[in-house]
Structure 1
């Protein structure tokens, strides 16, 4: 499918546009299906978006919150994605606790925790064996190396196509991550990318000859919409 690319003046403008799109997609999902499912990204770029969403007015009891990936650290660790999301947003609104589905990191075995989260997704979405859920909206970031979620270049997680959740590997450090086929089931994937350090990765990702094993964000081609929001620094080489 064809990606929609918007290049915004600066990071603040990017956050404002992201907030607008997130609210729009969540409200549309609730209107059509009675609830909305959203997978969150970690990292520094989405934090101001989460802080902005904490001030929004949404039917919080109709949201199901998931995570695209998680560092394999305790929930109160400074590097935890769900800790950041809770502090910036989720703890400030009335989303029922049982509708915030954090990735578990307590089994001392990331493969066990990946299976536990897969079981949770199957329970919430009433999946039969072999089925994939269709998330309404997935937020993703982009690393300087072209990774997204915890799908890193030339790692085994890129080959996993029969699971919902797998173990990513960043230089020997395990992560939990949603798999490529699950991400590609989404009704909308929204990439948020800021900073000049992302220019090389973006140039490769938008080059149809690039090997996606080297720049894994190229694997993200959802059945629904694909939207890239870039600030001017990130998107400088993509300007028409």
Structure 2
């Protein structure tokens, strides 16, 4: 299995390790392929990571930024993943505006915006129908319920296999999200997970057998590398069960 699991002491160490790995993969991609395509996660955990990335000296003109999911709100909304990433990172560095590829949320129709972004990704990566492009890096978080991106337990989005982007749903609120096969095509997927509240879901995700529809993060098995970076509060329950 291409999975690497690392448990670090606390959240500060988690951010430091996530920063080091992300920078390593960015530099690797720009060296080997001339650019880096990275998809960001939302939520509270990655914000200090983005702030730390903003303080680095990186080849910004070679980095293209996308999002793995987005709440169906304007970028100015406090809940917007795009807005958070811009404030913490993107607006603080010399990243060309054309290198930022947000998910559209302005059509008042999530399904239409999902189609639009699907087409945008295919155009950027020059991929045809039926092909799934390879992102260099996809950063993911995980909810207490085991969801990742906006792939929530027992929702229709989990079953989409013919599109890059679909509509996720949480308590009746639509979101745009990468599909499982798009995530699994990535060269490198990095989960960054913190907190004791994540322990029950992690136990199911790392169990030999469990319901993949109940714990969607189990479905993330990329063709490339898979890193699970956990602070001890999240990872202590499984630390002894996994061969590090």
| Counterpart-to-counterpart distance in 1, 2:209 and 2:232 | 24
Q: 1:191: how far off? A: 0.2
Q: What does the per-residue CA deviation read over 1:79-108, in whole Å, with 9 as the maximum and x for residues that have no partner?
A: 000000000000001111111000010000
- Quote the residue 1:142 is aligned against: 142
| Counterpart-to-counterpart distance in 2, 1:62 and 1:82 | 19
- Quote the residue 2:232 is aligned against: 232
Whether the 8 Å contact between 2:2 and 2:224 is mirrored in structure 1 is: no
Whether the 8 Å contact between 2:146 and 2:153 is mirrored in structure 1 is: yes
Q: What are the within-5 Å matches in structure 2 for residues 166-177 of structure 1?
A: 166-177=166-177
What is the aligned-residue RMSD (CA, Å)? 0.6
Q: What are the within-5 Å matches in structure 2 for residues 1-240 of structure 1?
A: 1-240=1-240
Q: 1:236: how far off? A: 1.3
State the SS of the aligned residue for 1:228: strand
Structure 1 unaligned spans of 5+: none
State the SS of the aligned residue for 1:139: strand
| Counterpart-to-counterpart distance in 2, 1:26 and 1:212 | 30
Q: How many residues align?
A: 240
State the SS of the aligned residue for 2:146: coil
Q: What does the per-residue CA deviation read over 1:149-205, in whole Å, with 9 as the maximum and x for residues that have no partner?
A: 000000000000000000000011000000000000000000000000000000000
| Counterpart-to-counterpart distance in 2, 1:140 and 1:83 | 17
| Counterpart-to-counterpart distance in 2, 1:237 and 1:145 | 16
| Counterpart-to-counterpart distance in 1, 2:213 and 2:239 | 26
| TM-score, length of structure 1 as denominator length | 0.99
| Counterpart-to-counterpart distance in 2, 1:130 and 1:61 | 30
| Counterpart-to-counterpart distance in 2, 1:156 and 1:208 | 24
State the SS of the aligned residue for 1:234: helix
| Counterpart-to-counterpart distance in 1, 2:73 and 2:116 | 16
State the SS of the aligned residue for 1:174: strand
| TM-score, length of structure 2 as denominator length | 0.97
Q: 1:239: how far off? A: 1.9
Q: 1:208: how far off? A: 2.2
Q: 1:233: how far off? A: 0.2
